[in-house]
Amino acid sequence: MANPLFDALFGRHQGSDAVFLHLADGVQITHAQFLATTARFANQLTDLGIGPGDRVAAQIAKSRQALSLYAACVQAGIVFLPLNTAYTADEVSYFVGNSGAKLLICDGKDAEALGPVATETGAALESLNADGSGSFPYKAAYQRDSFDTVPRRCDDLAAFLYTSGTTGRSKGAMLTQDNLLSNAEVLVREWRFTDADVLLHALPIFHTHGLFVATNVCLLAGASMIFLPKFDTDAMIAQMPKATTMMGVPTFYTRLLDDPRFTSELTRHMRLFVSGSAPLLAETHVQFENRTGHRILERYGMTETNMNTSNPYDGERRAGTVGFPLPGVELKITDPATGNSLPDGEIGQIEVRGPNVFKGYWQMPEKTAEELRSDGFFITGDLGQIDADGYVHIVGRNKDLIISGGYNIYPKEIELLLDEEPGVLESAVIGVPHPDFGETPVGVIVPDGATAPDLDAIKASIGKSLARFKHPQKLLLVEELPRNTMGKVQKNQLRERYGDLFAKAPQG
């Protein structure tokens, strides 16, 4: 029996001396070298007693070894659970505990802070550092560089990605081999990836965009990647002439456009720029085309569904839209109250069905049933409409979510912490426009009247348990929150009131 995901992404490259990764320091890694490390890691995981279906959580820096850990999990049939490096020990503790991960791999610098997490959850703890050193690769170095790939079925789990919820509790989205493989296959075809492509990769590899879209597509097409540790404008500009494609969140594009060195000459060899994870302003789309002559291809996806829609490769890439449903993906716009389909042109909730749609939330059957209908349609929580030409427009969200620089922030999680703070009666966290991150969280607090809230102390206190990117950029005091007649907080009124807190200073 085969392992469809491993065979398609990695197995096909066994023994190949073609370059897979161009690292920032100029070192090139061939597929054969990459797969030798992968096999050693797979042997080491097996020696640690971790087998098919077990979860391995990893909070590690982006490196070729981190990518080999992903590949090793796929090869050994282990469920890979990557974690944002910004998460605090409190956050990691929840993910490891909830997933029942048998092993937590972290950066050596975090081993002391995460030691108690491992003890509490019963997970083993190993380290893998940004430079590829650490206890895990040290032990793996003594392992064989070949591994008998563990057979898997298409609907076996390949990965868990945690996504926050409106209740403030994160949910583990269970992604199968076929969810990942079918989506990568469609994207390779739709975006015309070949082994001649070189992708400029500056995204983190703990989310769908950087791992399952960018990396899986390149592996499947036999393309190589310029693998940068993170987004850095200077490095992007230095590497761009060697690349043919780039994928990024809108912040990548606005940051590049802010730099006068980013010119049409610099992008002359590029054939494709893809944007997603957050709305790309039509203004950015137009500015990009004026500067470079390239039209950014915007697509739309979710952790639970991988990619759902894409603007066309050939044909008009329409600014402010996310294009058409991908082949194999059904998309409908429904009335949130009844679930019935709405005619084209009307605004409603976006629902999708297809091989890309996840299996459900780990050990949360009620949550799964709320969002994943029995007929297979997933309720995305995004509001959209389909125009007369069939292009999908995302016009808003039916879920209380803030997207900052491509990272999702669920207000509830912050509100629950704020409400616990001394002097706070209640709070509302809203997303307001931000010139660099698109949106950023702001906390609006109603004092309890007994003790005056100390905003600096509150910031410091909630900061201990929240990842840096979730920290409200401002805390404001108000006498009361606006509510409708049902008593529901009117966040849109707050967003209007505070919408220009971070407005860019007028030019000239």
Which residues are at the interface with ligand MCA (CB under 6 A)? Answer: 203-204, 207-210, 230-231, 249, 251, 276-277, 301-303, 404-407, 437, 468-469
Q: Please, which of residues 369-398 interact with ligand AMP by CB under 6 A?
A: 380-382, 394, 397
Residue 204 contact, options ligand AMP, ligand MCA, none, Cβ 5-8 Å cut-off depending on partner type? ligand MCA
- Quote the CA–CA distance of 217 and 183 in Å, as a whole number: 9
Nearer to ligand MCA, 208 or 349 (CB): 208
Minimum Å gap between C-beta 422 and ligand MCA is 24
171 binds, options ligand MCA, ligand AMP, none, Cβ within 5 to 8 A by partner type: none
Choose among ligand MCA, ligand AMP, none what residue 230 binds, the Cβ cut-off being 5 to 8 Å by kind.
Answer: ligand MCA
Q: For the sheet containing 157-163, what is the strand order?
A: 124-127, 103-106, 55-59, 79-82, 157-163, 171-176, 360-361
Q: Does 351 bind ligand AMP (CB under 6 A)?
A: no
**Closest separation in Å from C-beta 242 to ligand MCA:** 20
| Closest C-alpha to 89, from 59, 63, 47, 66 | 59
**Residue, CB closest to ligand MCA:** 405
Closest by alpha carbon to 61, among 13, 17, 10, 127? 127
User: Rounded distance, CA 431 to CA 89, Å?
Assistant: 25
Closest CA to 305 of 217, 399, 381: 381
Q: Which two tokens stand for residue 129?
A: 């550092």
Q: How many residues does the chain have?
A: 508
- For residue 469, the minimal CB distance to ligand MCA (Å) is 4
| Continuous segment of H or E residues that includes residue 409 | strand 407-409
Q: Residue 394 binds what, of ligand MCA, ligand AMP, none (CB under 5 to 8 Å, by partner type)?
A: ligand AMP
Asked whether the beta carbons of 130 and 124 are under 8 A apart, the reply is: no
Q: Where are the beta strands (DSSP E) in 37-137?
A: 55-59, 79-82, 103-106, 124-127
- Least Å distance, CB 234 to ligand AMP, is 27
Sign of the Cα pseudo-torsion (405, 345, 312, 18, in order): positive
Interface residue with ligand AMP among 104, 175, 184, 322 (CB under 6 A) is 322
Q: Among ligand MCA, ligand AMP, none, what binds residue 210 when CB lies within 5 to 8 Å by partner kind?
A: ligand MCA
Q: Which does residue 354 bind out of ligand AMP, ligand MCA, none, counting CB within 5 to 8 angstroms by kind?
A: none
Q: Smallest distance, Å, CB 85 to ligand MCA?
A: 10
Least CB distance from residue 475 to ligand MCA, whole Å? Answer: 15
Nearer to ligand MCA, 47 or 259 (CB): 259
Size of the site for ligand AMP (CB under 6 A): 18
Interacting residues with ligand AMP between 255 and 314 (CB under 6 A):
276-279, 298, 300-303
CA–CA dist 454, 293 (Å, integer): 51
Nearer to ligand MCA, 75 or 408 (CB): 408
Bridge partners, residue 379, by sequence: 351
Query: What phi and psi values does residue 48 have, to the nearest 5 degrees?
Result: -80, 0
N-to-C CA span, the chain: 66
Q: What gap in Å lies between CA 196 and CA 201, rounded to an integer?
A: 15
Query: How far apart are the C-alpha atoms of 83 and 87, rounded to whole Å?
Result: 7
2 to 6, 51, 148, 149, 256: CA distances (angstroms): 9, 16, 11, 8, 43
> Whose Cβ is closer to ligand MCA: residue 92's or residue 249's?
249
User: Nearer Cβ to ligand AMP, position 213 or 417?
Assistant: 213
Shortest CB 201 distance to ligand MCA, Å? 11
Query: How far apart are alpha carbons 494 and 430 in whole angstroms?
Result: 7
Least Cβ distance, residue 250 to ligand AMP (angstroms): 8
Residues that bind ligand AMP (CB under 6 A): 163, 276-279, 298, 300-303, 322, 380-382, 394, 397, 403, 408
